[in-house]
């Protein structure tokens, strides 16, 4: 029986905030085939069946951490590997070879290699930008960023910069789509003949063509204004010809742009990049995800003084090479949704009077919204799958738990077994140390594993907090043996489980959205490592990173990677050696202060936007005013780093407070041009939250930041609601 209690509506043992109830019943359920009565019954059962197990898993984390703390405090007398096995932290690997056996996986998640975006799904504009980032203009990316020297001149199109962009583009085409005895810059014309076959000639009248004619896919338009489509390493390239355009007039063939197939997939994030602390926030998160699955999400905003409406792009159609049909290419990415971890709770739903485990609510709501895609076939997954990413899982026991939750959700929604695929974030120490077993228990669902340096380092620091040695400075951590072992093992374990070009093996984020030249120079290392995808911070970055997947044949690289047992054993040993350094005790005071200030500034710069503005992901200037794309993972590593140095006496509590006070003035100055920003001035809710994150860092479970942030954000929202009623 339904009863009203304040702002909550009761359905048996659960109480649902009226804002969330309305959002689910009005924005999500219509079109799914699931009635409101059925949905709330499903949620009640899911919480009843899994809440106790969820709580037990969290208690087990605490038990393991307490045992590790005691081991360190006792002088590490027992061999580490033997100790970790004895307490159940390390498990025995599967007795049989693990081979994934996942069915109905979209090619973007399996056969193809390319960039992946991660965006906060509570921001409709960002979500739409990501969904539409399947295609991107190479000319725009190069013209507007630091890929080539200089900056565009004022007053519209800069012809001299345009020529430099053309030179860059022609060089890329020569490498990816080489011509027979000619270069692209030498072409006078390229189009199709009466048989719809590609023909080209140079400015000297010489006929030429592709060295690999099968790379030509299709075309549309005409020789003066048209598009030619090619494919290389599975990724499509659209060469746009417009001889009367500004760019087209600057070259003999009339090339006006090169459009690259860019982001193949995007993670719509409910977790680290959002600040969703209550029913209002969660309703926006869920409604936007449902809009993406239904295909009708749109948003309007002001740009250049004009109102702009953004919606999902349509697919692209071309006449097939040879003229024998139509070729259709996807206009959008394949979207995954990242749920929250099992440690999160939400007051949007209460179970038997307590805040419900948010991960369970996420699983049912996001999967239900996924029905909107399955019912309309082809808006997102062409194979009938729903892709859910689970973060912050600790070891195979928790991965198996997540899979059982998905089993039950499928039963409730009438989905076929294993319709819901799982992406496993390899970002916690116990998962990294048992990755083979994690993949094994999810072998019928897993389509994605991904490394994340920031979270993974945060957990490393917290797990080994009671070591006799302090953690090294951040710069040194990146060079430590354990992080190299971590990155290599992720690829090796994935390949040994048969994930090569059958599932995504991913790498982490490029955090500097304005530094595209550096990204082009450095991020090629990810496909060279055998990873089939890597995170980038913007659609522009996706377009430029796509070049790397033309330069590198990931499938070929994966076939060359050795899975030598002795080498793997050595890497696993290195993985368990934390990045701690006794030389930190003798670091010059100036070096210690710079490291402390850098961490303090980064913490405050992120926390103040999270707490005061509800912004979970944004470009935050660092201490050197370099804009970095930050989310909660950055906060975790920085707060744990200071907490570690405080614990080991490298810095004092007074020194930390002084640094935070000093850096709050820096952050205030960096944000003075933002009309929404309220200066901290060394105080306020956000500043106090930053203090708590550091000084409670050794006590916060696994070094997670969410509880402190959520409490602070709720306080701000409560105060704003009070003020609005005055």
Residue 645 tokens, joined = 């140095």
Q: Which of 467, 466, 398, 465 is nearest to 427 (CA)?
A: 398
- Is the pTM value of this prediction over 0.75? yes
CA–CA gap between residue 581 and residue 475 (Å, rounded): 12
Per the CB < 8 A criterion, the answer to whether 449 and 504 are in contact is: yes
Q: How many CB atoms lie within 10 A of CB 591?
A: 11
Note if 631 is an active site residue.
Answer: yes
Between CA 593 and CA 600, with CA 595 as vertex, the angle to 5 degrees is 90
Per the CB < 8 A criterion, the answer to whether 360 and 47 are in contact is: yes
* Mean pLDDT of the region 481-498: 97
* Mean pLDDT of the region 593-610: 98
Q: Would you place residue 377 in the very low, low, confident or very high pLDDT band (cuts 50, 70, 90)?
A: low
Q: For helices 358-376 and 395-413, what crossing angle results, to 10°?
A: 50
pLDDT tens column, 286-300: 999 999 999 999 999
Note if 668 is an active site residue.
Answer: no
Residue 323 tokens, joined = 């003229």
Q: What is the 3-state secondary structure (H, E, C) of 570-601?
A: HHHHHHCCCCECHHHHHCCHHHHHHHHHHHHH
Q: Which of 130, 299, 261, 282 is nearest to 544 (CA)?
A: 261
Beta strands in 511-663 (DSSP E): 533-536, 618-621, 627-630
Q: Would you place residue 303 in the very low, low, confident or very high pLDDT band (cuts 50, 70, 90)?
A: confident
In the set 161, 338, 609, 632, the catalytic residue is: 338
pLDDT tens column, 126-167: 999 999 999 999 999 999 999 999 988 888 999 999 999 999
Tokens 């090479």 found at = 321
Task: Write the CB contacts of 489 (distance below 8 Å, at least 6 apart in sequence).
Answer: 432, 435, 568, 571, 572, 575
Q: Which of 640, 58, 535, 694 is nearest to 341 (CA)?
A: 58
pLDDT tens column, 245-258: 999 999 999 999 99
CA–CA gap between residue 419 and residue 416 (Å, rounded): 6
In the set 106, 281, 631, 692, the catalytic residue is: 631
Q: Tell me 248's DSSP state.
A: G
Per the CB < 8 A criterion, the answer to whether 112 and 512 are in contact is: no
pLDDT tens column, 619-651: 999 999 999 999 999 999 999 999 999 999 999
Q: Would you place residue 2 in the very low, low, confident or very high pLDDT band (cuts 50, 70, 90)?
A: very low
State whether CATH 2.60.40.10 applies to domain 587-725: no
CA–CA gap between residue 281 and residue 288 (Å, rounded): 11
Q: Which of 213, 186, 218 is nearest to 201 (CA)?
A: 186
pLDDT over 90 percentage in the chain: 94
Q: What is the CATH number of domain 135-261?
A: 2.170.170.11
Q: What is the CATH number of domain 40-134+265-575?
A: 3.20.20.360
Q: Where are the domains of the chain?
A: 40-134+265-575, 135-261, 587-725
């Amino acid at each position: 029986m339904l009863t009203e209690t304040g702002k909550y509506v009761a359905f048996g043992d659960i109480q649902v905030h009226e804002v969330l109830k309305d959002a689910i019943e009005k924005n999500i359920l219509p079109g799914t085939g699931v009635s409101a009565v059925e949905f709330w019954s499903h949620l009640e059962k899911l919480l009843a069946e899994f809440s106790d197990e969820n709580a037990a898993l969290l208690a087990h984390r605490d038990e393991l951490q307490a045992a590790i703390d005691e081991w360190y405090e006792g002088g590490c007398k027992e061999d580490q590997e033997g100790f970790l096995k004895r307490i159940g932290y390390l498990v025995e690997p599967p007795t049989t070879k693990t081979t994934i056996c996942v069915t109905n996986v979209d090619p973007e998640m399996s056969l193809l290699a390319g960039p992946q975006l991660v965006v906060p799904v509570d921001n409709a504009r960002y979500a739409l930008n990501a969904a539409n980032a399947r295609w991107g203009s190479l000319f725009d990316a190069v013209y507007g960023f630091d890929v080539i020297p200089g900056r565009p001149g004022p007053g519209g199109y800069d012809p001299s910069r345009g020529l430099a962009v053309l030179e860059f583009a022609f060089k890329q085409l020569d490498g990816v789509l080489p011509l027979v005895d000619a270069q692209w810059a030498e072409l006078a014309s390229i189009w199709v003949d009466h048989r719809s076959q590609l023909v080209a000639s140079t400015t000297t009248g010489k006929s030429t063509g592709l060295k690999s004619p099968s790379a030509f896919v299709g075309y549309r338009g005409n020789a003066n204004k048209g598009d030619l489509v090619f494919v290389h390493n599975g990724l499509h390239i659209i060469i746009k010809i417009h001889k009367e355009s500004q760019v087209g007039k600057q070259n003999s063939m009339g090339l006006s742009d090169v459009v690259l197939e860019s982001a193949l997939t995007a993670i719509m994030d409910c977790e680290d990049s959002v600040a969703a602390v209550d029913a209002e926030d969660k309703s926006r998160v869920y409604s936007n995800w449902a809009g993406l699955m239904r295909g009708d999400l749109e948003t309007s905003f002001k740009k250049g003084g004009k109102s702009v409406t953004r919606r999902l792009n349509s697919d692209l159609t071309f006449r097939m090479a040879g003229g024998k049909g139509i070729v259709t290419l996807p206009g959008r990415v394949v979207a995954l949704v990242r749920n929250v971890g099992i440690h999160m709770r939400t007051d949007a739903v209460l179970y038997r009077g307590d805040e419900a485990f948010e991960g369970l609510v996420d699983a049912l709501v996001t999967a239900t919204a996924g029905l909107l895609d399955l019912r309309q076939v082809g808006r997102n997954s062409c194979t009938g799958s729903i892709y859910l990413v689970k973060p912050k899982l600790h070891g195979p026991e928790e991965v198996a738990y997540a899979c059982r939750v998905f089993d039950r959700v499928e039963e409730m929604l009438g989905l076929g077994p294993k319709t819901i695929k799982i992406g496993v974030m390899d970002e916690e120490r116990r998962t990294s140390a048992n990755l083979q077993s994690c993949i094994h228990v999810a072998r019928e669902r897993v389509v994605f594993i991904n490394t994340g340096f920031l979270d993974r380092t945060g957990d490393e620091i917290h797990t080994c907090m009671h070591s006799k040695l302090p953690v090294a400075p951040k710069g040194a951590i990146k060079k430590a043996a354990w992080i190299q072992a971590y990155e290599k093992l992720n690829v090796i374990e994935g390949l040994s489980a048969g994930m090569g070009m059958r599932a995504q093996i991913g790498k982490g984020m490029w955090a500097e959205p304005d530094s595209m030249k550096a990204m082009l120079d450095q991020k090629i290392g990810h496909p060279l490592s055998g990873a089939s995808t890597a995170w980038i911070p913007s659609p522009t970055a996706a377009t430029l990173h796509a070049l790397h997947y033309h330069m590198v044949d990931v499938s070929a690289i994966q076939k060359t990677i050795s899975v030598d047992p002795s080498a793997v054993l050595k890497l696993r040993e290195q993985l368990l050696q934390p990045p701690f350094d006794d030389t930190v005790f003798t670091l010059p005071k100036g070096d210690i202060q710079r490291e402390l200030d850098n961490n303090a500034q980064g913490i405050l710069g992120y926390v103040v936007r999270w707490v005061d503005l509800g912004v979970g992901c944004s470009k935050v200037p660092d201490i050197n005013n370099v804009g970095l794309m930050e989310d909660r993972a950055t906060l975790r590593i920085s707060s744990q780093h200071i907490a570690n140095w405080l614990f080991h006496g490298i810095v004092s509590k007074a020194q930390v407070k002084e640094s935070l006070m000093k850096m709050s003035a820096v952050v205030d100055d960096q944000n003075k041009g933002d009309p929404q920003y309220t200066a901290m001035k060394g105080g306020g809710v956000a500043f106090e939250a930053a203090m708590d994150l550091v000084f409670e860092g050794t006590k916060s479970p696994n070094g997670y930041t969410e509880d402190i942030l959520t409490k602070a954000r709720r306080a701000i929202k409560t105060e704003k609601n009070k003020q609005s009623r005055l």
